[in-house]
Amino acid sequence: MNKVYKKILVCTLSIWTCIIAHAQSIHFSQFTNTPLLTNPANTGFIPDGDYRISAHYRTQYSAVMNVPYTTFAVFGDTRTFESEDQNGWLGIGTSLMRDVAGSSALSTTKLYGSVAYHQILGASSLLSGGITAGWVNKNINRSKLKFPDQFDGRFFDSNLPTNVILDNTAINYLDVQLGLNYAYFPNEQTYINGGLSIQHINKPKETFFQSTTIDVKTGGPYNQTIPIQYNIFVNGSFKTNSDWILNPNIHYSHTTGTSALALGCTAQYNLSGDGGSQLIGGLYYRLNDAIIPMIGLNIQGFAFTFSYDATVSSLTKFNNTYGALELSLVKIGLFNNADQQRRRPLICPKF
């Protein structure tokens, strides 16, 4: 690839990410392993455990940028305040995300707390509702940015003057999300779960410019608010025999002018006979963007998975399909071993 064109692409990506920061939200390809980030109602929604702790790492754009984009997230949640018949309980959790765009020009930190209530309906279904609220901080290191009017025909020279003026280099705001979930589990071999979440319901302001900045597209003041985002997901878990469990999944998100659809399936293979060790494999597709193979291993409740985004969009002419790498570690457990002997009212297929 021509080095000049590559530099122009890098510059364009940097400016697009830093100045129009809300155009693309932070996301993980392994959306099934980040339930608190998908829907607040997933908080404490743990069919086969009492608590859940996880860590996630993602790196992307390494093929077109000298310093790739990196995202790190950790979260934990638990069931608490269970009713005596175990048909209702409260879930509480927290999550922390850190995203660094390229050479630290833009960094994002998000700290959330979430709570959800879960109620069994009849003998084979459950309804959940939850809310997440948290603090978001975004910082720009202006000294590491280069703008189009600093391109001299061969190189970007940060010593050249620029007409781009950022009024703020750090912003903070409150972000609020709501969610609903429904689960159906007619028997020990079948489990289906679907949900809807609404993000940014308080429409927080997010801009590094003053309110008088003119949007060149509309000719009016620049819209500083983050548009509401809607997320819909459907998960399934089907035990086909004593050795295999299949987990098809679909996730759709929509915000003003932008939508994304990801779907696929993972399979768990019983390696040890007693379910203590499982091999995990799967394949996902993000519409018009990437094919995502995944592989992993679950040992005694610790699930480690690795996935790779193989780009299939027009970006392939720049990155040669080298998309994103993602790692995930999730631990699900019980507070009391005696709980293993009890029959939970929420049934999920297991070995």
Calculate what percentage of the chain has a pLDDT beyond 90.
56
Question: 42 in a domain, yes or no?
Answer: yes
Start-to-end C-alpha separation, the chain: 50
Taking residues 158-180, what's their average pLDDT? Answer: 83
Does residue 347 lie in a domain region? no
Q: Is residue 73 part of a domain?
A: yes
Tens digit of each residue's pLDDT (9 = 90 or more) over 257-304: 889 999 999 999 999 888 889 999 999 999 999 999 999 999 988 999
For residue 324, being part of any structural domain is answered with: yes
- Hey, which residues does 130 pair with through a beta bridge? 116, 179
What are the E-state strand segments in the chain?
51-60, 69-80, 88-101, 106-121, 125-140, 170-187, 190-199, 229-239, 244-255, 258-270, 277-286, 290-299, 302-311, 322-333
The answer to whether position 325 is within a domain reads yes
Amino acid at 227: P
List, for residues 72-83, the tens digit of each pLDDT value. 999 999 999 988
SS3 assignment, position 37:
helix
Q: Which domain holds residue 337?
A: 3-341
The answer to whether residue 350 is domain-embedded is no
In CATH, what number is assigned to the domain containing residue 37? 2.40.160.40
Our count of domains for the chain comes to: 1
Average pLDDT estimate for 241-246 = 94
| CA 145, 150, 155, 159 torsion-angle sign | negative
348 domain residue, yes or no: no
CA atoms within 13 A on the CB side of 342: 15
Burial classification of residue 184, based on how many CB atoms lie within 10 Å of its CB (0-12 exposed, 13-18 middle, 19 or more buried): middle
